[in-house]
Amino acid sequence: MPTPTRKPSRPKGQGQWALGHREPLNKNEQSKKDDNPLNVRQRIEGVYAHRGFDSIDPADLRGRFRWWGLYTQRKPGIAGGKTGILEEEELDDKFFMMRVRMDGGQLNLAQLRTIAGISKEFGRDTADVTDRENVQYHWIRVEDVPEIWRRLEAVGLDTQEACGDCPRVIMGSPVAGVSTEEVIDPTPQIQEIYDRFIGDKSLSNLPRKFKSTIGWLPDSPYEVNDISLIGAHHPEHGPGFDLYVGGGLSTNPMFAPRLGVWVSQDDIVEVWVNVVRIFRDWGYRRLRTRARLKFLVKDWGAEKFREVLESDAYLGRKLPDLEQPPVPEKLLDHIGVHKQTDGKYYIGVAPVVGRVSGTILDQLADIAEKYGSDRVRATPLQKLLLLDVPEDKVRDAVVDLRAIGLEAEPSNWRRATMACTGIQFCKLAIVDTKDRARDLVEELEKRVPELDVPISIHVNGCPNACARTQTADIGLKGQLVTDEAGDQVEGFQVHLGGGHASAASLGRKSRGLKVASADLGDYVERLTRRYLTARSEGETFAQ
Ligand code: SF4
């Protein structure tokens, strides 16, 4: 009998819409196809806020709520490492983390007071400044969400597309418009992107999240965003922006390559939206783990991505070539006192690992008012800036800020340590981060007070690297480790020698380099003493 011949199976593809793969290939894609996630707002306002947490459709709760900046938070008391063992509902608390987007990191006083008031009234006084210029609340009840939106929107803020597979907050330079080193302030373009495209349903179903940063100065981690535009001079065209596309960290860290094009200030918005459209059309949708833009850029290469961007289907014209501009020396954190273009001063302060509260933000608003300022900024390094302080008031303002825990002259430990949300609230976390990082800073300030340069320590609760594990001098990735007694305890995989700008590199991970959380102080002290003793002049920790 002849052997039956099997029809050759159609290659599965990556679920790219541009190649006709419109049938959802996983449950996330199905959920987005079933109903545009932005529509969940009507159900929150019309149904869930009245009927309470238990009335929420699971597809909305664990999917579409994100498009409005809402994630369920982790139920207290569940140990790390349970993700994947427990069903998601067993990890869910009946409260939410809510993320407020602050495009460009800019806040006026009315906005700051509103954020503070919401924190105190609805969020048990929680308010974390994130490393993407957002503020995050915890303990939010679904019943209070419509009122929170009403208050935020009354002052021009919202939570729309703060999470989810869509364009997240557009980060900008925290000193845009006031820095003496800035040549172009792209704040109007950030605002235009926000006004025209945030909430645009044609861009609200992307393969995964899309992270942007646009600013003249190197004060945002431009190597690890989906799109970055950073200031650059063109020999003929003058000042404009250098375009990077397809960076990201998490479990497959990649630095974004330059496309080698010069983008004028007038072209920022069109270039931005066309990069988003390419991602929407060509991004991989079959596997969530390969759905970020970085995988497409890696497979295509910068040259092909540029060709597609300039093709008639997208931008429809060529952009001027741009040779590699000088690489910035370092990522600026703006801590301390700095003169503005108008002769006033801005003061950069360091809360410990971005943790503040509604009370502190309210006190910050009082201080701003006292010194005649209407402007506060958040930075991508979990720091805050108070703008527009008159020269003769700077010292008093620094003292007042110190009194509320916002330090303009922090130790190098405090200055360069960041932490993600961690096990206190995040369902994916394996270990505690915020409290551990705060204790570590205090410990190191006592043990190695002589540290004279910042050594960045980024504490992350799991491999997702929300606090950028791989671009720190000492990057810590939470996991369970085995201690000397053979017990499984909270600890970290260590990545060493990561950095940005002229020190751009992904931290080296050595298999054996794991440290129990309780031993972190000893470990960092040992490493630092070795560096301080052996360094040659000007040698950084990463070298
Ligand atoms: Fe949560 Fe992990 Fe991100 Fe930390 S790195 S906030 S633990 S997902």
Taking only the tens place, the pLDDT of each residue in 316-360 is 999 999 999 999 999 999 999 999 999 999 999 999 999 999 999
What distance in angstroms lies between residue 477's CA and the mean position of ligand 1's atoms? Answer: 9
- Integer Cα distance of 308 and 224 in angstroms: 21
What distance in angstroms lies between residue 26's CA and the mean position of ligand 1's atoms? Answer: 23
What distance in angstroms lies between residue 433's CA and the mean position of ligand 1's atoms? Answer: 9
What distance in angstroms lies between residue 136's CA and the mean position of ligand 1's atoms? Answer: 13
Substitution candidate for ligand 1 out of 163, 428, 492 with most atoms within 8 A of CB: 428
Q: How does the average pLDDT of the chain come out, rounded?
A: 95
Residues whose CB falls within 8 Å of the CB of residue 101, separated by 6 or more in sequence, listed in order: 69, 134, 157, 158, 159, 160, 161, 162, 168, 169, 198
Residue 512 predicted with pLDDT over 80: no
From the list 519, 524, 508, 532, the residue with the least C-alpha distance to 253 is: 508
Res 78: pLDDT: 83
Q: Ligand 1: which atom is nearest the Cα of residue 461?
A: 7
- Confidence bin at 9 (pLDDT 50/70/90): low
Res 540: pLDDT: 86
Residue 522 predicted with pLDDT over 60: yes
What distance in angstroms lies between residue 133's CA and the mean position of ligand 1's atoms? Answer: 16
- Integer Cα distance of 368 and 386 in angstroms: 7
| Inter-helix orientation angle 109-122/145-154, to 10° | 170
Whether ligand 1 lies within 6 angstroms of the CB of 476 is answered as no
For atom 3 of ligand 1, which residue has the closest CA? 466
Whether ligand 1 lies within 6 angstroms of the CB of 73 is answered as no
- Confidence bin at 2 (pLDDT 50/70/90): low
What six digits make up the tokens of 542? 């990463």
Mean pLDDT, residues 475-483 taken together: 94
Residue 86 predicted with pLDDT over 80: no
Extract the runs of DSSP E, i.e. beta strands, from 77-133: 92-101, 106-108, 126-129
Other C-beta atoms closer than 10 Å to the C-beta of 84 total 7
What distance in angstroms lies between residue 209's CA and the mean position of ligand 1's atoms? Answer: 15
Mean pLDDT, residues 114-139 taken together: 97
What distance in angstroms lies between residue 513's CA and the mean position of ligand 1's atoms? Answer: 20
What distance in angstroms lies between residue 466's CA and the mean position of ligand 1's atoms? Answer: 5
What distance in angstroms lies between residue 369's CA and the mean position of ligand 1's atoms? Answer: 35
Mean pLDDT, residues 266-275 taken together: 98
**Cβ-contact 345, 179 below 8 angstroms:** no
Substitution candidate for ligand 1 out of 460, 471, 477, 495 with most atoms within 8 A of CB: 460
Residue 83 predicted with pLDDT over 80: no
Range of lowest pLDDT (88-92, 404-408, 522-526): 88-92
Substitution candidate for ligand 1 out of 251, 288, 462 with most atoms within 8 A of CB: 462
Q: Ligand 1: which atom is nearest the Cα of residue 464?
A: 5
- Integer Cα distance of 422 and 130 in angstroms: 12
Whether ligand 1 lies within 6 angstroms of the CB of 428 is answered as yes
pTM, rounded to two decimals? 0.95
- Integer Cα distance of 493 and 478 in angstroms: 6
Whether ligand 1 lies within 6 angstroms of the CB of 421 is answered as yes
Position of tokens 């993320």? Answer: 99
What distance in angstroms lies between residue 459's CA and the mean position of ligand 1's atoms? Answer: 10
What distance in angstroms lies between residue 42's CA and the mean position of ligand 1's atoms? Answer: 29
Residue 129 predicted with pLDDT over 80: yes
Residue 49 predicted with pLDDT over 50: yes
Substitution candidate for ligand 1 out of 128, 168, 430, 466 with most atoms within 8 A of CB: 466
Query: For every residue of 307-367, which 3-state class applies, written as one string?
Result: HHHHCCCCCCCCCCECCCCCCCCCCCCCCEEEEECCCCEEEEEECHHHEEEHHHHHHHHHH
Per-residue pLDDT tens digits for 278-300: 999 999 999 999 999 999 999 99
What six digits make up the tokens of 193? 């992107």
Whether ligand 1 lies within 6 angstroms of the CB of 347 is answered as no
Substitution candidate for ligand 1 out of 420, 427, 480 with most atoms within 8 A of CB: 420
What six digits make up the tokens of 97? 């983390």
Res 1: pLDDT: 47
Q: What percent of the chain has a predicted confidence (pLDDT) above 90? A: 90
Q: Ligand 1: which atom is nearest the Cα of residue 465?
A: 5
Mean pLDDT, residues 171-197 taken together: 98
Range of lowest pLDDT (147-156, 352-361, 530-539): 530-539
Whether ligand 1 lies within 6 angstroms of the CB of 376 is answered as no
More confident residue, 419 or 81: 419
From the list 164, 281, 207, the residue with the least C-alpha distance to 29 is: 207
Substitution candidate for ligand 1 out of 91, 251, 421 with most atoms within 8 A of CB: 421
